[in-house]
Amino acid sequence: MADLLAKYGLLATFYIPRENPERPVMNEADVREIARRFEVGAHTIHHVALAKLPRERVWSEISESKAWVEDVVGQQAISFCYPRGKFTAQTAALVKQAGFLGARTCFLNLNEFPRNPFYWGVSTHAFSHSIFIQLRHALLEQNFKGACDFFRIHKGSTEWRSHFLLALDHVEAQGGIAHLYLHSWEIDKWGDWEKLESVFHSIHERNSLSRVTNGTLFEMWKGRNNGTERERVVGVVRE
């Protein structure tokens, strides 16, 4: 993934837990290699969904993951991502308390700066979700704007490449953020590396877009007036 991003001159944020019971994770030497070229954000210690855990456990997963990333890569970790997209208002408050500038959610079909920097949404997941799944998630997460923009901006597209290219078109014309998130194991599973490279090539060809990491994007959020400015940026990627 890192080599493919570098091939097209793209920036990205990799969210890496120290451990993951679901699948192997990179060793610390590989994490340091990623950090030479890209941002590494925190993703808890054990890759656990935080919403239903006791407050003390949530705090340890958040704060210790920040310390672990900073110890491994030798740089400040300012970006956090909620495992499996599960979080509460208390979770977001603890992420802020730990010293992060912002956090990514799994709220889909969002292409704008949020009011709260610990509720950043994404444009597209590199996985083809049905209309039912798209709308079900939006309702459960109370992501009503995302549900509206699924039809208004993304034209109801369920094929992830087309869905993201529509986000790029919208951001080029109107401003905002085109953010693609993905898991490399899903790209492997569905044999989508060629499709992903075609998307990266399309981003590379759009010179009007600024390439940023999530950390840079979170820094841009500071001092803004609820996202009224009209930057055109593209962000990749969650790992």
The ranges assigned to domains in the chain are 2-236
Task: Report whether 107 contacts 143 (CB < 8 A).
Answer: yes
Q: Which residue in 236, 235, 220, 237 sits closest to 114, CA to CA?
A: 220
Which CATH number applies to 2-236: 3.20.20.370, 3.40.710.10, 3.40.50.720, 3.40.50.300?
3.20.20.370
Beta-ladder partners of 236: 180
Dist CA 116 CA 221 (whole Å) = 9
pLDDT digits (tens, 9 = 90+) for 223-239: 675 444 556 776 655 55
What Cα–Cα distance (Å) separates residue 20 from each residue in 12, 44, 48, 86, 205? 21, 10, 8, 16, 36
Interacting residues of 29 by C-beta distance below 8 A, sequence separation 6+: none
State the pTM of this model: 0.93
Dist CA 20 CA 29 (whole Å) = 17
Residue 151 pLDDT > 50, yes or no? yes
pLDDT digits (tens, 9 = 90+) for 181-219: 999 999 999 999 999 999 999 999 999 999 999 999 999
User: What local confidence, expressed as pLDDT, does residue 238 receive?
Assistant: 53
Dist CA 101 CA 126 (whole Å) = 25
Show the tokens assigned to 115: 């009011």
User: What local confidence, expressed as pLDDT, does residue 162 receive?
Assistant: 98
Dist CA 4 CA 193 (whole Å) = 9
Sign of the CA dihedral with 21 first, then 22, 23, and 26 last? negative
Task: Report whether 169 contacts 163 (CB < 8 A).
Answer: no
**Sheet arrangement for strand 124-125:** 124-125, 176-181, 232-236, 210-212
User: What local confidence, expressed as pLDDT, does residue 228 receive?
Assistant: 47
pLDDT digits (tens, 9 = 90+) for 47-81: 999 999 999 999 999 999 999 999 999 999 999 99
User: What local confidence, expressed as pLDDT, does residue 122 receive?
Assistant: 97
Q: Which residue in 136, 99, 143 sits closest to 118, CA to CA?
A: 99
